[in-house]
Amino acid sequence: MTPSRRGASLYGSRIVQAIAVSLFLAAAVSASHIPAAPPRLLSETGLYAGKGTDVIDARNRPFSPQYPLWSDGAAKSRWVRLPEGATIDARSIDRWDFPAATRFWKEFRFGGRKVETRFLRKNGDGSWTFASYAWNEAQTDAILAPEDGLPNVAEIAPGKMHSIPAVTECRACHDSDGPVSGFSRTRILGFSALQLSTDRDPAAPHAEPLADDMITLRTLVDEDRLEPARPELVATPPRIQAPDARTRSVLGYLSTNCGSCHNEESSIANLGLLLKGQGVGAGRLRQGFGAQGFSRLVGQATSKWEIPHAPEGASQYVSPGAPDLSAILVRMKSRRPSTQMPPLGTVLHDKEAVGLVTEWIESLTTQE
Amino acid sequence: MFKSRLAIPFLILTLTLFSTMIARATSEATPAPVAGGLQASGSTAARIARGEYLVSFGGCNDCHTPWKLGAKGPEPDMTRMLSGHPQQLPMPPAPALPAGPWGWTGAATMTSFAGPWGVSFTANLTPDKETGLGDWTEEMFIATMKTGRHQGKGRPLLPPMPYFNLKGLSDEDIKSVFAYLQSIPAVHNKVPTPVDPEEPGL
């Protein structure tokens, strides 16, 4: 055997080939864990049946949270696709962990026209892909918006424009640990035990009708989509605990619109303002604020931010009987950048909710 | 024959992938070069030194330390280093500017500015628990610098804070700045809430 033939034989040995194949496979597996870029067109995300955008794929199920997020009055539709046969890890009742390949869509319409559809996809490595699509003029499809967002895509009131948020802004609300540091604690804000409860709050601001085909907690339990099964969520559906109907609606609204950032697991928990209410009734839900919890807001001085022109030290989160000294309400009403709350995703204040919270604060007495 | 024909490309592919992985791992493990050719390390002392260098060069004292009139003219009051707009100095309403190219006004302390955005006050960056960054984490600081929003989620940082220049820093450098800021003397100084432009109906 010549030296060259001996070399070829060595290269061709099973051991070397096995190492090569192993390394190749390892690299391939590693590459597959890099989150795939979202498709360029909404019609390529799997939302629709066939090639057009007329018919929703039957595997995508509509749902409606009982406390919708305020989106400047947009009409919204939402869909979820859970992979065939897969289950949601519901061991933590207020922090569901979705199976890989779960997809969510939310469509925003203003004046009857589709403006934006947001898309979330759980990747194989546990991360989530965030994307948003801007609808074209002909309303035939929507195109992937840049990561930095797309400003002023539709006029929604005189001089007020809707903008498609940047991915960092999406993550600011969806990720408990901030938009830059990780992805492991992404929340789906409208798809939780409380939001899908069958004990829906009929007085929730902007409450949407629940269509027959919409997913609720009952659907998920009946279809064995929760692991463990958690039948107690049907027997005793989660509900915001409150002494009266108005307080229930206020706390539910604040929980959705404020609590995704103001909660005990958030990177801003140090501010000491906890507005995420957990429904009670299924026995094992943690309390954010409830019968005792929300009283922590009432009559408490704000930790940092003070109401402009208010006497020093007079600013409270919720000042009983005094809407003008209640920082939560003042910030809900404002749409100036350094005052408005939520600080992003809205350019118009929510008149219905401002009215509800004003009435609630006026009804409170210092004893509560 | 077939095996040997496949084996060589496989080996080349393997070596390429392997060397790429090693190169990537090495580049991730190598800290960014820093001043004087040093390498930033994870050690606290190195972090703080690097942070001090960046804060000094980055001009943080220009606005976050109140300025006073010294013997040789205006100078930063280093007894209140990086403690932001002094709470003992309430600002009267900003002077109204005539229409024209003048666009904003500033306090003599260099810690308060008025313009179309309202009135901004520079933040207390010292590690005071109640009024500074004492209850902040490294993660919150990075999020703020990268997004231009308080703790990555809250209100936008206001002019003239040039966060858009700082967002280009590496995470390692921002961590160094934070480490330095946490190492300086805490100053208890509650900076006023920014004032928005008038808002009809509020």
Low-confidence winner among A9-13, A139-143, A184-188, A342-346 (lowest mean pLDDT) = A9-13
B7 contacts in chain A (CB < 8 Å):
8, 11-13, 16-17, 20
More confident residue, A275 or A234: A234
Same domain, A132 and A276: no
Instruction: Give yes or no: residues A178 and A255 share one domain.
Output: no
Which pLDDT score, from 0 to 100, does residue B170 have?
95
Per DSSP, the three-state class of B1 is coil
Mean pLDDT of A263-268: 80
Q: Which of residues 73-102 of B touch A (CB under 8 A)?
A: none
Both structure tokens of A135: 């609808």
Phi then psi dihedrals of residue A302, to 5 deg: -65, 150
Say which residues have a Cβ less than 8 Å from residue B76's Cβ, sequence separation at least 6. B61, B62, B65, B66, B67, B68
Confirm or reject contact between A337 and chain B (CB < 8 A).
yes
Residues whose CB is less than 8 angstroms from the CB of residue A178 and which lie 6 or more positions away in sequence, other chains included: A171, A172, A267, B139, B140, B142, B143, B151, B152, B153
- Would the pLDDT of A217 be above 90? yes
B21 reaches A (C-beta below 8 A): yes
Is the pLDDT at A18 greater than 60? The verdict is no
Q: What is the pLDDT of residue B29?
A: 38
CA dist., res. B162 & res. B192, Å (int): 20
pLDDT at B172 over 50: yes
CB contact under 8 A, A12 and B193: no
The number of CA neighbours under 13 Å toward the Cβ of A273 is 23
Residue A68 included in any domain: yes
The residue of chain A nearest to residue B129, with distances taken between CA atoms, is A270
In this structure, the answer to whether residues A68 and A208 fall within a common structural domain is yes
Same structural domain, A231 and A265? no
A272 burial level (CB within 10 Å; 0-12, 13-18, 19+): middle
Instruction: Count how many domains chain A has.
Output: 2
Where among A203, A235, A267 does a domain terminate? A235
Domain chopping of chain B, boundaries: 41-87+105-141+168-189
What is the mean pLDDT of the segment spanning A338-349? 95
Picking from A68, A82, A66, A89, the residue whose alpha carbon sits closest to that of residue A198 is A66
Tell me what pLDDT residue A206 has.
97
Complete edge-to-edge strand list for the sheet that includes strand B112-115: B105-106, B112-115, B118-121
Domain region containing A97: 42-235
Residues A313 and A220 in one domain: no
Instruction: Report how far residue A332's alpha carbon sits from residue A249's, in angstroms, rounded to the nearest whole number.
Output: 16
Residue A10 lies in a domain: no
Does A25 score more than 90 pLDDT?
Answer: no
Q: How do residues B54-81 score in pLDDT, each as one tens digit?
A: 999 999 999 999 999 999 999 999 999 9
Among A21, A268, A337, select the one facing B153 at the smallest CB separation.
A268
**Mutation for testing the B interface, residue in A34, A167, A335, A338 having most B CBs under 10 Å:** A338
Select from A9, A178, A308 the Cβ nearest to the Cβ of B143.
A178
> Is B14 or B176 the better-scoring residue by pLDDT?
B176
Last residue of a domain, one of A207, A235, A263: A235
pLDDT of A150 reads: 97
For the segment B120-141, the average pLDDT, to the nearest whole number, is 95
Which band of pLDDT confidence, cut at 50, 70 and 90, is reported for residue A281? very low
Q: Which pLDDT score, from 0 to 100, does residue A277 have?
A: 67
Check whether B164 has a pLDDT greater than 60. Answer: yes
φ, ψ at A73 (rounded to 5°): 85, 10
- Residue A175: CA atoms inside 13 Å, Cβ hemisphere, count? 26
Provide the shortest C-alpha distance from residue B117 to chain A (in Å). 8
